[in-house]
Structure 1
Amino acid sequence: MTRCLRISTAYSLRWMMRHSTALLFISFIGVVTFILHLYAFKHEDKFRYRDIIGDFDYRPGAFLKGLQPNENTSYCEFNYGLPEALNWHSVRVHKTPEGFVTNTHNVIYNAIKGTAYANFSKYDALTYATQATPEFIYHIVEIARFWDGPISLAVFVPDYDLYITMQIMDHLCHCYSEMSKVSLHLFYPIKIPPRIPFQIDMRATVPQTTMSSNVTKSITQTLQEKMEKYKQLNKTTRPEYIKWVRQTKIQRMMSIMSQRPLMPPILQFEDCMGSNIVIPTYRKINNMLYPINVGRNVARNASLTNYFIVSDIEMVPSEGLATKFLRMVNKLMGRKKRKEGCIFSKTIFVVPLFEVGRGEPIPRDKDTLSSLVAAKRASYFHAKTCSHCQRFPGLQTWLSRPSPVGIEPMMIAHREYPYHRWEPLYIGTQKEPWYNEILVWEGRQDKMTQMLELCLQNYRLIVLDGAFLCHAASKSGSKNGQAIRHNNRWYKKLIDRLKSKYEDRTLCRLSWGS
């Protein structure tokens, strides 16, 4: 056997040496062909949808382009003197729903009261609960356009951000009839209450007065004394005096500027599509962190329906999501039990999240979405920036299943390893724990502790088929080191709090950094 191998090896080497030039030429041709194929694939003209929505220049409310507001009709019911003024004597101020550690924010409910579903039973509607800062409010028209139920919107309004909010909401309420679905709630730092500056300026009118002769005399005398003092200075003391005067003036000017309230922009709207300018909000100018979980809790707490979904304002729902879900629940539970107020114990219904590529229209049905995912023009939400956050169990099964007529439960999942970092959006009830209000949006993973608590309570997560929320193409945001450290520091404390409250479940990964 060994002799045969030696002979075979010798013949192979002899043959390769004899044909080495041909082998090198064939190898060269193969490498060049492979490189050309790669180049052609990279520069291949792929089919692209026309730019409608999802582009970075996408403006929510584009379907309202060219329409002008109806000055005589508002589809919203404003309260407390809004939008022109905020009458504090008629306002009832509330604490935040969770109020963990120290209550640093206050809430004003129903600044606008939605009327479209006022006569519906709480068992016959599903609320879309969301939150925003003023620069994102215009996204609410996309939700109002497609959501078949009431909408609860909480907006963060420190200082003059209330005025910006009222400008936008008043404009939208004169433009689009579906805004009657929206109830608006305000939340703000206790130390920075909302205000409408021009209302305050009109009330704070100061009568003109003339100076008395004594005052004029004292000013003249003071100036003369300063001039005499300046003349007595020599070459050494004069520069020091000038430097001291300049520093004093600068300090005085900075003190006046810090005490002077910043004035908000007055927005100009060409049509109902809205303004395309970057809005300089009070929060942005003062680098304030956004307490997103306060907004989530406020919007959820204001919901008047049995079931609701706490979602983000940039998420667009699939066709008939609310109606189809209620039909599914009635079928699973029975109409009689639903009317009696029954709910599924320790059960939430997960709505899968997706995002489309730049220039793609947001799909309205599962078949279109699945086609986009297959063409790599859509993916599950945050697939590139946070792969574990929204990748749900059974993702490939969900995509490959035929689209159901309505909505149906696909599988029962748990927020357990290896999905212990999963942060789904779900349809639930007031039985679920609050979001931790101390965590901020810029610090990321702000829903993580609530999901961990649901795992410790052994909740079932029903993944829904036939329903989804979709986000337009988005740029990855920059990191905020201070906010991340803030969330990390509090996350550790919240973990300790949960350890003392619940028994450990190994699969929940009840430890920091797991």
Structure 2
Amino acid sequence: MNFSNSNRFMVILCCCALVVFIYIFFQPKCVEKVDPYNYWLLEKLNMKEKNESENVTNRYLHNPLLRIQQRGEYWVFYNLLTSKRTFAQFESITYTTHGDFTFLDNLPPLLERWRGPIGVALYAPGDDFKSSVDSIHYLRDCTTYLIEEYVTFHVFFKGEHHPKEIPNLNEVFSSAYNCSIDPSFKTINSEKTYKALNNLTYPVNVARNIAKESSQTYFVLASDIELYPSLNIIENFLEMINKSQIIFSNKNPMVFPLNLFEVEKDANIPGTKTELLIMLKDKKAINFHQYVCAACHNTPKYSEWIDTKETEGLNVFHVGKRFGPFAKWEPIYIGTKDDPIYDERLSWEGKSDKMTQGYILCVKDYDMMILDNAFLVHKPGIKVFKNDPGRNVHVYNTANLINNVIKKELEILFGVKEGCII
């Protein structure tokens, strides 16, 4: 039997199609392996059935900006609740901070002084997730209007310590909180949180990075939630930047550190440098962590700073460096979203959590533009050193991690410079 070329081509094509069909039909199905700790969330977000899909979607309708993403071993609810106001990149400065729900009583007084955008990252493992949502709801509905205007909340937890269930956030935040009921941060002692009961460490640098990276604005003040700023920092800083054009004319990268202070337990928090200097003279205020880690917050020209009276606006008082007598300095500063991040392997319990970032700032020759009239004051109460055997174990392990692992990494990545230490 003779075949024309066209007939031969059709036979070959049919055979190829048959082979492909057999391969696809009989091929074993691939099953994706899912981390058992994280399967719960994947299951909740799975759209296997229409009704299930609608239920899951509806619980997040309160906020179209909400993103649920994995960050290493953590799940992050970015923008769990966003501020009503939005800001252009150079319109303001975002105060980025962190904690767990037991620290949220600090937000209203902080906001009264800052009066600008704030980003808060809350660590909320297990049952602490519900307590965090409850506390956020209370703050929005039962305290100052500034919460709704200016604060954006992010919440995160490790996969193996996920909540048993996620409350319907759309129902929660679409309803009014009953303000006659105290929130979780007033009724649950810090020793009774899920974190404490399960002996979990606090991933402080994960929280810092989440809040910082999520900022709407270019300039950020990455700080602690118990540190209250002096008044009018935002407008004075932006005016200084616009007038001096310092960020364009300076050859080195730079940040703008603020001096830090503590005040007595029953003292009023000073709002201006003039008020602060009076309190220092009367010994009602001291340098931050003076009795805990004086070297950590020993800033260049500190004596001259406290001997200099307040002036109008805001200016650079002195340009310092993080080496020599200040090699252990842990500056808290106004910087940008582009500045080095914090090492997420370090915990609050292990201490030294800002030292690795400080090393990078030093090696990269950052100028420390210390501001003349701006400062931060810790929530009233003088801190004293307390020996904590339980924490000492974490400190020892952290020191080993830094010296044997992280230090070598940083030296390879960023180099070595005389006087720069971790």
TM-score by length of 1: 0.63
Alignment match, 2:356: 449
Correspondence for 2:119: 152
Distance 2:109 2:339 in 1: 27
Q: How far does residue 437 in structure 1 lie from its aligned partner after superposition?
A: 0.4
Change in Cα spacing, 1:504 to 1:345, as seen in structure 2 (3 Å) is closer
Q: Report the CA distance between 1:269 and its aligned residue.
A: 5.4
Corresponding position of 1:288: 200
1:489 maps to amino acid:
N
Q: Does the 8 Å CA contact 2:67/2:79 hold for their aligned counterparts?
A: no
Listed one character per residue, the Cα deviations across residues 429-460 of structure 1 (whole Å, up to 9, x for unaligned) are 12211100000001112100100111011110
Give the SS at the match of 1:507.
coil
Shift in CA distance, 466/475, structure 1 to aligned 2, threshold 3 Å: closer
Moved over 4 A (4+): 84-87, 195-199, 267-274, 342-345, 474-478
402, 411, 416: which one aligns with 1:504: 416
1:121 positional shift: 2.0
Give the greater-gyration-radius structure (CA). 1
Change (3 A) 1:126 1:197: closer
**2:226 alignment partner in structure 1:** 314
Match of 1:486 in 2: 397
Provide closer, same or farther for how the CA distance between residues 333 and 193 of structure 1 changes in structure 2, counting only shifts above 3 A.
Answer: same
Return closer, same or farther for 1:403/1:452 CA change in 2, 3 Å cut-off: same
- The superposition leaves residues 139-196 of structure 1 with CA deviations (integer Å, 9 ceiling, x where unpaired) of 1111221112100000001111111011111111112200020000112112222454
Q: How many residues align?
A: 352
Cα deviation for residue 325 of structure 1 reads 0.8
Shift of 1:122: 1.4
Give the conservation status (yes or no) of the 8 Å contact 1:106–1:188.
yes
Amino acid paired to 2:412: S
CA contact (8 A) 1:125 1:149 kept: yes
For residues 435 and 173 of structure 1, the distance between their equivalents in structure 2, rounded to whole angstroms, comes to 29
- Residue 407 of structure 2 is aligned to residue 495 of structure 1: yes
- The equivalences for 1:134-213 within 5 A come to 134-175=101-142, 176-179=144-147, 180-196=149-165
> Alpha-carbon deviations, 1:204-233, whole Å to 9, x = none?
xxxxxxxxxxxxxxxxxxxxxxxxxxxxxx
What is aligned with 1:74? Answer: none
Letter in 2 for 1:458: D
- 2:91 is aligned to 124
Name the structure, 1 or 2, with higher relative contact order (CA <8 Å, separation 6+): 1
CA contact (8 A) 1:85 1:196 kept: no
- Aligned residue for 1:93, secondary structure, equals strand
Give the Cα separation in 1 of the matches to 2:392 and 2:94.
Answer: 35
Aligned-pair distance for 1:81?
A: 9.7
The equivalences for 1:58-457 within 5 A come to 92-96=67-71, 103-116=72-85, 118=86, 120-175=87-142, 176-179=144-147, 180-196=149-165, 275=186, 278-279=189-190, 280-333=192-245, 345-457=252-364
- Aligned residue type for 2:275: T
Cα distance between partner residues in 1 of 2:211 and 2:250: 20
Deviation at 1:486, TM superposition (A): 2.6
Q: CA deviation at 1:297?
A: 0.2
Among 373, 376, 396, the alignment partner of 1:466 is: 373
Taking the aligned partners of 1:413 and 1:432, their CA distance within structure 2 comes to 17
RMSD of Structure 2 on Structure 1 (CA): 3.1
State the shift of 1:402 in Å.
1.4
SS at match of 2:326: coil
How many Å apart are 1:277 and its aligned residue?
A: 5.2
Shift of 1:86: 6.7
C-alpha displacement of 1:295: 0.3
Contact 1:300/1:310 (8 A) holds in 2: yes
SS at match of 1:434: coil
Contact 1:435–1:447 (CA under 8 A) maintained in structure 2: yes
Q: Secondary structure at the match of 1:439?
A: coil
Give the Cα–Cα distance (whole angstroms) in 2 for the partners of residues 189 and 304 of structure 1.
25
Cα separation, 2, equivalents of 1:162 and 1:273: 11
Q: 1:503, 1:460 → 2: CA distance?
A: 18
Shift of 1:274: 7.2
- Runs of 5+ unmatched residues, structure 1: 1-79, 97-102, 200-266
One-letter amino acid of the structure 1 residue matched with residue 119 of structure 2: S
Write the distance in 2 (CA, Å) between the matches of 1:299 and 1:198. 23
SS in 2 for 1:470: strand
Gaps of 5+ in 2: 1-53, 169-177
Per-residue deviation, 1:268: 8.9
Question: Structure 2 length as normaliser, TM-score?
Answer: 0.77
In 2, Cα distance between equivalents of 1:300 and 1:343? 24
Identity among equivalent pairs (%) = 28
